[in-house]
Structure 1
């Protein structure tokens, strides 16, 4: 890596770590007055004050329930018709991320530090204790699990270093419940995040947060085992993704806001979905649009 690039990466990593728990600032007012914020005023909040930092949700239609996992170790579900919250199972973990529900009604959860778990009425079973930074998982009709590893180099606590380095350490993996074996299907993702299976189960979509795009890995047909671009130039970093009933996909985006642009010794104040940082960049960028375009 060239000296200037290395210096920039170090500076970015330092500032992200320093500002990970930010004070209230001018970017907070931007968020509160933005169109995105005002458009959510009519949404119904479920479990407000009772659910600690949920990462993902999965609906079991026949149970009329919505499952989630929280950073205090609880797997919970909402009974949707009366909005009752049930504390179902507790796991000794503070690193639960994406989850999926199986056709049997069990829950499979990614633990970014401890591997892949299966939660049933009988308890918790570790499916694969060796994977690290597992982020999201989806269950196929035959019981096969497809899941992502965001970074094979960095830990969850050091995710900002992955972003600063800008190299593709993410993976798409497959867990076979018959053999209890995990295999790597594809490497080279820029922070592999959410994963979803198509309606016909002929491909999976993987979100690449740092590239503002989603990739498609084919599971069947002439393109089996190949990778192509499903969506790109998104207006934010794709995080979680879920299949909609009509075969399309719902994608959650990490929105980036930038303020305080100075054209020559560029200073950018950025808010990235819940944490803020100030980036001090060298010459060469003249606008926030140019910076975002080059980051993509």
Structure 2
């Protein structure tokens, strides 16, 4: 071979095949590890959480500033929150959805859609199926509890039409916002620190449960039991289904039915958990029993749908 031929072959020789992208999760990755990649660094979890907290603070500040302009607030002579106050609170919590998704995309440099599920998107059919299955359970369950307790009777709340509209339109978004923070962002960012996904899931799940319970501000033992139990059971659903849709459905079913019932029993705002809220052990266990029934039904439906709880293909990173 001539010298020219040797030089030509050297410069035109095909480069060796590169390794697969190191900023993508491998197929078979469960939801808690969806953000654990070769490019993940320890500081990304606190950075994403801090970014989300910053966005949440701005959202809450905007809510508080808007209330006087909208004539909202709570009258000392009428503890029922105004429609404007209810709408502002729900919108502030709903804003946690884009805030948390944006924080993941900004800090981890991957599609924020992986906060929805292992597919990188909302599985809308599965979400609709889950909501349709859980709503009747909570509607019948919460109605039965109200009727059997004898503590409420049929009566329209003041401004009932507006409160009903808020319950139907904004309460689902409020419930979803809480899920994206505690069982989405906190779970996936903290779990990304741990090599063993089960250890990461347990540690992150414990932290998210503590945060979820603390955010409701009540120290009453049976309320704490109820909130912690609901959180742990919802975390199981997130692991089992590979996304937030099922836990969102349960949260929406509970909050939506309670909100609608409150409108027609003149008790809007009374069911909101505060520092002074109290419930009985029986009521707490009854609520958890509804969650258990919901999980049983959703488990069966998820298996019937033939969906996967782990990644099937490597997710593509956001373009830099």
Report the TM-score, using the length of structure 2 for normalisation.
0.24
Pick the structure with more strand per residue: 1
Higher relative contact order (CA 8 A, sep 6+): 2
Pick the structure with more helix per residue: 2
Report the TM-score, using the length of structure 1 for normalisation.
0.25
Larger radius of gyration: 2
